[in-house]
Chains A and B, each alone.
Chain A
Amino acid sequence: MKISLTLNGEARELEVEPCRSLLDVLRNEAGLPGTKKGCDVGDCGACTVILDGKPVNSCLVLGVEAEGREVTTIEGIQPAPDRLHPLQEKFMQLGGAQCGFCTPGMIVMAKALLDENPSPTEEEIRFGIAGNICRCTGYTKIVEAIQAAAEEMGK
């Protein structure tokens, strides 16, 4: 099946088999491997993307369901090729990434969280990223990075 969607702000047409997840379509068909496959069953959040403004696990969405919709992946978070998003800056500065595998999902989820709530409390951040597992357990620095990015963006 052919689908048309807006992927990171760009109109794209992709050939998709109905039995493929959006995650596999992004990684294999769309050439965007930044979105990670951790558990592939919706438990880890590494595959988080923003679908029509809402964060979802792309492993639990069929690729064909993206027809006519807007998808933002980690590759679309960066405002320009030579500029990083404040979340990306702060994750680097404050040690928000260790092995880095959860990082794309964490940053996309944090972006969705800050879009909805620009100045979250620590509790709200922890509630927001409850579906993103960091197997290095580096949560403290991840939460600090999200808080710092929120402050930066609020300036």
Chain B
Amino acid sequence: MRRFEYFEPATLGEAIGLLARYQGRAQALAGGTDLLVELKEQLRSADCVVNLKKIPGIGALAFDAREGLRIGALVTAREIELSEVILRLYPSLAQAARELGSIQVRNRATIVGNVCRASPSADTLPPLIADAAQVTVNGKNGERHVPLEDFFTGPGRTVLSPGELVTELRLPAPAPRTGKVYIKHGRRKAMELATVGVAVSLSAADVRIVLGAVAPTPIRARRAEELLRGRKIDASSIERAAQAAVEESRPISNVRASAEYRREMVGVLTRRALTKALEATR
């Protein structure tokens, strides 16, 4: 790694001040599992690294039946994978966290970091969007909240301005008997990036279907959702929704799979995820 100045700010204000002062030349460090790789491979440069780990109040993982779930910026994938409340109420998120990298990586990598990295294939993004996550952004002009599904603008790109930090994700408490499923499709069982990822959150009140790795950002399959919303959900409506999801996906071909294969798998996995989610609502 090239030399950089290193700071461990003790407050959020100090961290935001540093990011603002260095403009785009400062990088925020939480887990570091993406940042350090990108610094080593010179995909990213930093005159200054701002380690967020000493900032109080951004490491909380808390659930409240009315307020829902709060995931602070320092919460690791491993904490999510093992959290009893997440396994029970946000099982698709727990599943996605479990499929991210290795245990060594998950002990460092943060969920908020996975969000800010904005990879189209990131495992945690489809379940978070299916769970209607909101992003809390802090910057020198104060705090703002962005729905996660509007947070991404392209591969590696988000609505964040230089000097802004994501401090928390908020997920509403699930409706009773919500079925939540995340299915990752890859070439091997572990240490893999998703070829296609599909998340479904299904309850009597609503259905959300989110596709990963088949567009420049994770996308909701809105037409597929419309085919199911307020209607009887059975094998034939699920089949129609799966076909709609295929048409909504816009995959590319790359080293992991061809676009044709990905489209095909969107259909298979959407059908499978909806079927499993339906079973889980019963």
Contacts and interface: CB of A to CB of B under 8 A. Distances in A.
Interface of A: 1, 17-21, 40-43, 45, 48, 51, 54-57, 59-62, 64-65, 109, 112, 127-128, 130-133
B107 A18 contact: no
A87 B107 CA distance: 23
19 contacts: A1-B6, A19-B3, A19-B4, A20-B1, A40-B40, A41-B41, A42-B105, A51-B107, A54-B78, A57-B108, A60-B105, A62-B32, A62-B49, A62-B51, A64-B6, A65-B51, A109-B103, A112-B103, A128-B103
A131 B41 contact: no
B37 A41 contact: yes
Interface of B: 1-6, 29, 32-33, 36-37, 40-41, 49, 51, 53, 78, 101-105, 107-108, 189-191
Contacts of B5: 18
A40 B37 CA distance: 8
Nearest to B189: A130
Contact of A43 (B3, B40, B189, B191): B191
A89 to B, nearest CB: 24
A17 to B, nearest CB: 7
Contacts of B108: 56-57, 60-61
Give the top 8 A-B pairs by smallest Cβ distance, nearest first. A131-B102, A18-B6, A130-B190, A19-B1, A54-B107, A41-B37, A57-B104, A131-B104
A55 to B, nearest CB: 5
B99 to A, nearest CB: 10
Contacts, number: 83
A51 B32 CA distance: 15
Contact of B104 (A1, A56, A62): A56
Contacts of B37: 41-42, 60
B190 A131 contact: yes
Contacts of B4: 18-19
B74 to A, nearest CB: 13
A83 B5 CA distance: 43
Contacts of A19: 1-4, 6
Contacts of A60: 32-33, 36-37, 105, 108
| Residue among A56, A109, A127, A132 with the highest chain B CB neighbour number at 10 A | A56
A55 B190 contact: no
Contacts of B29: 62
A130 B188 CA distance: 11
Given A56-B107, A60-B32, A62-B32, A45 B3 contact: no
